[in-house]
Structure formats: structure tokens, C-alpha cells
Amino acid sequence: MGCIKRDYQLETKSNVQPIKQAQRRIPIFLKPELKQKLDELCKNKITAIVTHRTDWISNLVLVKTPNKLRICLDPQNLNSALKRSEYSIPTIAEIMPSLNNAKVFSVVDTKDYFWNVKLSNDCIHLTTFWTPFSRYKFLRLPFGICTASEECQRRLHEVFEVLDGIEIIADDILIGKET
């Protein structure tokens, strides 16, 4: 897993009261796979176990696919407390004219791109979440944070904006060329 050098800071609005969501139970049949996934995420420094008190605690949303278990944060309360980025994600209508003459297309899916964005140490406590085993926190930008798509779009755009025929759509890189 890569790591972008510039840390990202989650910022809360002023006068917001922290919220600890009530812990949701995880189905028994998912616990072994969840534990394995959490161990892998800790090993890769995407998450870490929390041993101290935190004011914010969210739940997980587990998405079971045929090949893996996807872990997403459920930060509904945190999202309402976060300051939004002032970066505007372009619409398809804004992107299409730049690809108007393209005949050949390719899409690069930046798999798990959010986890390439390291969170600032000042804000990782905001991403604390419940599990049946312990509380954990994200050290990288988790899926589910309302500002994640904007920040990832901004970072990818900064890299590719100088190249013609390349557009960024969330965490996908769309390449269109005439030949």
C-alpha cells in the first residue's frame, strides 16, 4: 500500500459535541474474517488499536463480496460535524467536452486509493470505531468520510492536470485519446 507524503487533516466545526455511537453487533459468522482483515490493516499501518479514551466512536459497515470483506466507517455523526472541503468535484457534463474527440478510452481504478492518504495525528482520534475485539482508529483516510472523495479528487487532479486527455472521476482515472 502506498502512502502520499502530505497528511490530511479532518476538521470539525466549532461548538460540536462529540458522539459515541452505540456499538452494533457483528454477525458471528463474520467475526473470524473481520479479525483477519483488522490484523492485516494494522500490519499495513492503515488502522491501529485504541487503548485510551476517545470522544468520538463510530461503527463499521461491513460489505461482504465474493472474494473479500470490505470495511467502511459509518461516520454519520462525524460527517455532520466535519468542515467540508471547498473543492468542487466536476460533473460528467464538465468532463465530457475534454474527451469529445477521443476514440480510445481506458480507465484506471485506483484500488483503495483513500488508504494512500495518511491522516494527520491531530485528527485520527475522530476515526475511532467499535469492533467485537477492541476499538480501532484509522491512520489513513477511511471510506465513508464525507470529505474523502473531494480530497482524493483534488490530489489526483494535482498530479494529472498538466496532461491532456486525462480526467479524474472520484478515485478513477479516465484516459481518452484520439488514437
Does 108 or 49 have the greater pLDDT score?
49
- For the stretch 57-100, pLDDT in tens is 999 999 888 888 889 999 999 999 999 887 888 888 888 888 88
- Residue 72: beta bridge partners? 61
d(CA 2, CA 112): 10
pLDDT of residue 18: 95
119, 141 Cβ separation under 8 angstroms = yes
- For the stretch 15-46, pLDDT in tens is 999 999 999 999 999 999 999 999 999 999 99
Nearest Cα to Cα of residue 50 among 34, 116, 58: 58
pLDDT of residue 64: 87
List, as one string, the DSSP characters of 137-149.
EESBPPTT-TTHH
Task: Give the percent of the chain with pLDDT over 90.
Answer: 56
3-state DSSP percent of the chain in helix, strand and coil, to 5: 30, 30, 40
Helix (H, G, I), strand (E, B) or coil at 130: strand
pLDDT of residue 79: 95
- For the stretch 149-165, pLDDT in tens is 888 888 888 888 888 88
pLDDT of residue 1: 65
Query: Who contacts 162 (Cβ-Cβ below 8 Å, separation ≥6)?
Result: none
110, 156 Cβ separation under 8 angstroms = yes
d(CA 117, CA 155): 9
Map out the domains of the chain with their CATH numbers.
29-177 (3.10.10.10)
d(CA 158, CA 118): 17
- Whole-number average pLDDT of the chain: 91
Backbone Cα Rg of the chain = 18
d(CA 83, CA 92): 25
